[in-house]
C-alpha cells in the first residue's frame, strides 16, 4: 500500500514544513511506502528506498497565492495518472483539486478573515486590503478542499472549533496536535555572547514573521516598555523593511530591543532566554510555542493561539486580549519577582512539552491511517 503526502515543502525548517518533515521521517521508519508531492524535500529523506518524490513547481516570485494555486493545479494533474496506485491521499489545506482521504488543517483563513485583529482592521490601508483579498481567496479555496476531504485533521482544539463553525461534520474531524523535537529543544546552558545577545540582563524572546501585524510584536514592545530592567530579542527576517525598528525608537526602548534577523539556531536562542513572548493575534497551532515550552521557558501568550491551553498547564500567562500589554507586563513582573514560582514554571513547561514529542504525533497519524485504510478496504469489498 502506498501513502501519498501533498504539501509544498518537507524540510527541517520551521512551521508546517518541519511538521511535514517529521511526519514523513516517522512514516518511513514505520515502513510505509510514500509518494511525496512537493516542490522541495530534505536530502536525507530522499535516500529512503520506500520514498518516491514527485517534484512540483512552486513559482514563489509570482506571489504566494498564485504559487499555491499553480501547485494545486500541477498536483491535480499528476494525481490523475497515479491515483489508482495510491491507497491513501493525505493533503495539507488547499493543495489539490482532487478529493483527499485525509486533510490536515494547519490554518483556517475564514477565521482569520473574521478576526477583529485581521491586518485590514489593524492597518486599514492598501497593505491591509491586499491581505484581506489574499485571505478571502484562500478561505474560498480551502473550504472547497475541506468539504471534499473524507477526514479533516485539526492541529488544535481551536482549529476543530473553527471547522465546526464552517458547518463541517464533527464526525469527520480528528485532532492531532503537532509535535516538538525534545532532544533539540531542551533546557541547558548557552553562551549569550557567542549568540550576539546582551549578557547579565533579563531577556525575553520573540520568534516569528513580522511582515504583517498578526504575530503581534507591537504588544511585546509595549509590555517591555513597562518593565525597565527587561530586554527583548527578536528573531525575525526582513526586520529592516518593517515598521518595528521605528516603533522601538518611538517607544524609547530601542536600546533594549535586539533585532537578530533570520536565525537557524532558535534552540540555542531559547536556551539563552529567560522567557518567551508570543501574544499572536491568530495562530492555529503555534509550533514555536511548543519549542519554547520544551526549552523550559515560561511562555506568555494569548487565547487566540491554538495550543495556549498548554501554557495554562505549564503555569504561564494567557491573555484574554492579545493587545493587552499592561496585563502582559504585569504577568512578567509577577513571575520574575518570585524565584520559587519562576523555577516551578520552568519545570512545568518542560514537563508539559514532554507529552508532545514527534513520535507521539506520528503514532497518532499511523493509527488514523490504519483505521482509514481498513474502512476503504471494507467499502471496496461491499
**Residue 258 has what pLDDT?**
96
| Residue 61 reports pLDDT greater than 80 | no
8-state DSSP, 80: H
- Residues 91-128: tens digit of each pLDDT: 999 999 999 999 999 999 999 999 998 999 988 999 89
Question: Would you mind telling me the total number of residues written for the chain in this entry?
Answer: 382
As a whole number of angstroms, the distance between CA 370 and CA 368 comes to: 5
In this prediction, residue 245 carries a pLDDT of 93
pTM: 0.90
CA distances from 359 to 22, 183, 294, 356 (A): 9, 12, 15, 8
Q: How confident is the model at residue 239 (pLDDT cuts 50, 70, 90)?
A: confident
Rounded to an integer, the average pLDDT of 160-177 is 95
Q: By 3-state DSSP, what share of the chain in percent is helix, strand and coil, each rounded to 5?
A: 50, 15, 35
Q: Buried b / exposed e across 323-349, counting CB within 10 Å, b at 16+? A: bbbebbbebbeebbeeeeebeebbebb
The most confident of the ranges 64-73, 309-318, 357-366 is 357-366
Looking from the CA of 355 toward its CB, the CA atoms found within 13 Å total: 9
At residue 320, the pLDDT reads 94
Task: Write out pLDDT tens, residues 204-229.
Answer: 999 998 888 999 999 999 999 999 88
Give residue 308's pLDDT. 81
Q: Does the pLDDT of residue 162 top 90, yes or no?
A: yes
pLDDT of residue 183: 95
What's the burial of 15, exposed, middle or buried (CB within 10 Å: 0-12/13-18/19+)?
middle
pLDDT of residue 376: 78
Sheet containing 275-278: give its strands across: 257-259, 230-235, 202-207, 275-278, 299-302, 317-319
Q: Kindly report, residue by residue over 247-303, the tens digit of the pLDDT.
A: 999 999 999 999 999 998 999 999 999 999 999 999 988 889 999 999 999 999 999
Q: Does domain 2-179+358-381 have CATH number 1.20.1070.10?
A: no
Residue intervals of the chain classified under CATH 3.40.50.2000 are 2-179+358-381, 192-356
The per-residue pLDDT for 342 is 86
The pLDDT, as a whole number, for residue 382 is 64
Mean pLDDT of the region 1-10? 93
**Contact predicate 236/218, CB 8 Å:** no
**How many C-beta atoms lie closer than 10 Å to residue 63's C-beta?**
12
pLDDT of residue 122: 85
Question: From residue 270, how far is each of 21, 165, 182, 241 by CA, in Å?
Answer: 22, 36, 13, 25
Percent of the chain with pLDDT over 90: 78
pLDDT, tens digit, for every residue of 311-351? Answer: 876 667 899 999 999 999 999 999 998 877 888 889 999 99
User: CA 294, CA 350: separation in Å to the nearest integer?
Assistant: 5
Statement: residue 241 has pLDDT above 90: no
Instruction: Say if residues 208 and 280 touch (Cβ distance below 8 Å).
Output: yes
Report CA-CA distances (Å) from 198 to 76, 192, 210, 230, 356: 50, 7, 22, 11, 31
Q: Does residue 187 or residue 340 have the better pLDDT?
A: 187
Average pLDDT over the chain reads: 92
How far apart, in whole angstroms, are the C-alpha atoms of residue 275 and residue 300?
8
pLDDT at 315: 67
Class of domain 192-356: alpha beta
Amino acid at each position: 500500500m502506498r501513502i501519498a503526502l501533498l504539501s509544498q515543502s518537507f524540510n527541517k525548517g520551521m512551521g508546517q514544513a518541519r511538521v511535514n518533515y517529521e511526519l514523513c521521517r516517522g512514516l518511513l521508519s514505520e515502513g510505509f511506502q510514500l509518494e511525496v508531492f512537493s516542490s522541495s524535500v530534505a536530502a536525507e529523506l530522499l535516500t529512503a528506498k520506500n520514498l518516491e518524490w514527485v517534484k512540483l513547481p512552486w513559482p514563489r516570485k509570482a506571489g504566494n497565492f498564485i504559487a499555491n494555486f499553480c501547485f494545486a493545479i500541477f498536483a491535480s494533474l499528476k494525481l490523475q495518472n497515479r491515483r489508482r496506485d495510491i491507497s491513501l491521499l493525505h493533503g495539507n489545506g488547499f493543495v489539490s483539486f482532487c478529493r483527499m482521504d485525509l486533510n490536515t488543517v494547519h490554518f483556517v483563513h475564514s477565521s482569520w478573515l473574521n478576526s477583529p485583529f485581521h491586518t485590514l482592521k489593524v492597518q486599514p490601508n492598501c497593505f491591509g486590503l491586499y491581505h484581506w483579498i489574499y485571505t478571502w481567496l484562500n478561505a474560498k479555496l480551502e473550504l472547497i478542499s475541506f468539504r471534499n476531504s473524507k477526514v479533516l485533521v485539526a492541529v488544535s482544539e481551536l482549529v476543530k472549533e473553527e471547522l465546526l463553525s464552517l458547518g463541517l461534520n464533527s464526525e469527520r474531524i480528528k485532532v492531532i496536535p503537532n509535535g516538538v523535537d525534545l532532544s533539540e529543544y531542551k533546557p541547558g546552558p548557552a553562551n549569550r555572547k557567542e549568540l550576539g545577545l546582551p549578557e547579565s540582563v533579563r531577556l525575553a524572546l520573540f520568534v516569528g514573521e513580522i511582515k504583517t501585524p498578526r504575530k503581534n510584536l507591537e504588544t511585546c514592545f509595549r509590555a517591555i516598555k513597562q518593565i525597565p530592567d527587561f530586554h527583548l530579542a527578536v528573531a525575525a527576517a526582513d526586520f529592516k523593511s518593517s515598521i518595528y525598528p521605528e516603533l522601538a525608537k518611538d517607544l524609547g526602548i530601542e536600546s533594549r530591543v535586539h533585532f537578530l534577523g533570520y536565525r537557524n539556531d532558535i534552540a540555542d536562542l531559547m536556551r539563552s532566554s529567560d522567557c518567551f513572548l508570543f501574544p499572536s493575534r491568530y495562530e492555529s497551532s503555534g509550533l514555536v510555542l511548543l519549542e519554547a515550552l520544551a526549552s523550559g521557558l515560561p511562555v506568555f501568550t494569548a487565547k487566540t493561539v491554538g495550543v495556549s491551553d498548554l501554557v495554562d498547564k505549564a503555569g504561564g500567562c494567557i491573555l484574554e486580549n492579545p493587545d493587552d500589554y499592561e496585563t502582559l507586563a504585569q504577568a512578567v513582573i509577577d513571575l520574575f519577582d518570585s524565584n520559587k514560582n519562576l523555577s516551578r514554571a520552568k519545570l512545568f513547561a518542560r514537563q508539559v512539552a514532554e507529552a508532545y514529542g514527534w513520535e507521539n504525533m506520528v503514532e497518532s497519524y499511523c493509527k488514523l491511517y490504519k483505521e482509514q485504510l481498513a474502512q476503504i478496504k471494507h467499502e471496496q469489498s461491499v
